[in-house]
Amino acid sequence: MIQSGQEAGILGGIRMRGTSTPISRIQYTDDTLIFSEADPVKVGNLRTTIHCFEAMSGLRINLAKSKMFGVNLKEEEVSVFANSFGCSSISLLVSFVGLPLCLGLPPKSLWDKVINRFKSYLAKWKCRYLSLGGRLTLIKFKEGGAGIKDLKRMNMALLGKWIWRLGTEDDSLWNKIIKGKYSRSIGGWWTKDSSRCRASALWKGILSLKKDVLKGIGFVLGKRDNIRFWEDIWVGDVPLKDDFPNIFRLASNLAIHVANCFSISANKIEWNVAYRRNLHDWEVEEYVGLLEHIYRGMPDIHSPDKLYWKADKSSKFS
């Protein structure tokens, strides 16, 4: 209902820099964040939409437990909107799924509450459940036993999964927001490197693993509009720039896409890679080897380019 109202122009939302996709809500388990412009009419329409949802579904939204906060608004203005909506107002700093939410990077002091909460849970757990057998298990854990996985490697795998998802979930909302905020890199699969954009600490941590993850990623050539001719692994096991370094150095466009390197005539592919100068006799042999090599990677022009994970039979990063 919110999506339909937004498309009809009677409900608002927010837009991230670099993307035209509006964001009207974010949902996580049983929590929902709804975004709206500071427009009395649209806020009123949102209230009406919620009433319609309650009438149609038979469910009731407890507005007494709901909170409203504003961005770049005075507290008095937020209070007016909250009163008309039937909920209370708070400052921007809130807790969402137990973690602090605020503009910019939260100061370290804000995490004290989270750390103390975990310490409290652990203390109760040790007092209630840690028997002699439990202590022995804990000792085994400290010595590397009990089948506990390496947390550092597990964390790297989870961060790497986000890089995989960035290249495979192109139509998802989060993907559009990330690529809109940090700009697409050449090829369209990823965002620009963290050193070239003002990325958050989290996103910088994810991108720090990009080179390692790319070693395990292969490309299936389709419409060839996302795959780079020289730098991506789309034919063979290594990039063409590594297999044919002398020819690569002569290319007039080192970041050219496969789509711009050939034409199709009478169902036949004709490769045409531009170079800065004519080839010398001793370079022709490597050029012929390049042509023989790339003719193995015949594209399916009716399907989009795809990624696959070389280390798993399912071709997926799991």
| Contact (CB, 8 A) for 305 and 224 | yes
* Number of Cβ atoms within 10 Å of the Cβ of 244: 20
Choose between 99 and 234: higher pLDDT: 234
Average pLDDT over every residue of 259-268: 76
Residue 264's beta-bridge partner residues? 269
pLDDT at 300: 61
138-196: pLDDT as tens digits: 555 555 555 566 778 888 888 888 888 888 887 788 887 787 777 665 556 667 665 55
pLDDT at 129: 60
> Which residues lie below 8 Å from residue 229, measured CB to CB, with a gap of 6+?
240, 256, 257, 258, 260, 261, 273
Q: What is the pTM of this model?
A: 0.61
Angle between helices 40-57 and 75-85 (to 10 degrees): 30
pLDDT at 132: 53
Picking from 4-18, 153-167, 243-257, which range would have the lowest pLDDT averaged per residue? 4-18
Angle between helices 173-182 and 151-168 (to 10 degrees): 90
Structure tokens at 89: 């107002």
In this structure, are strands 268-271 and 262-265 parallel, antiparallel, or unpaired? antiparallel
Average pLDDT over every residue of 227-232: 84
99-141: pLDDT as tens digits: 666 656 667 777 787 788 878 877 776 666 666 555 555 555 5
For residue 201, pLDDT beyond 60:
yes
Sign of the torsion angle spanned by Cα atoms 148, 152, 153, 159? positive
Average pLDDT over every residue of 74-83: 88
For residue 92, pLDDT beyond 80:
no
pLDDT at 247: 92
Confidence of residue 217 (pLDDT cuts 50, 70, 90): confident
2/23 Cα distance (integer angstroms) = 11
pLDDT at 155: 86
pLDDT at 209: 84
53/278 Cα distance (integer angstroms) = 69
| Nearest alpha carbon to residue 247 among 185, 292, 188, 189 | 292
Integer angstrom CA distances of residue 298 from 130, 171, 231, 303, 314: 62, 26, 17, 12, 22
pLDDT at 245: 92
Residue 89's beta-bridge partner residues? 68
Question: What residue segments make up the domains of the chain, in order of their start?
Answer: 2-99, 113-148, 149-214, 217-309
Of all residues in the chain, the percent with pLDDT exceeding 70 is 76
Average pLDDT over every residue of 211-215: 82
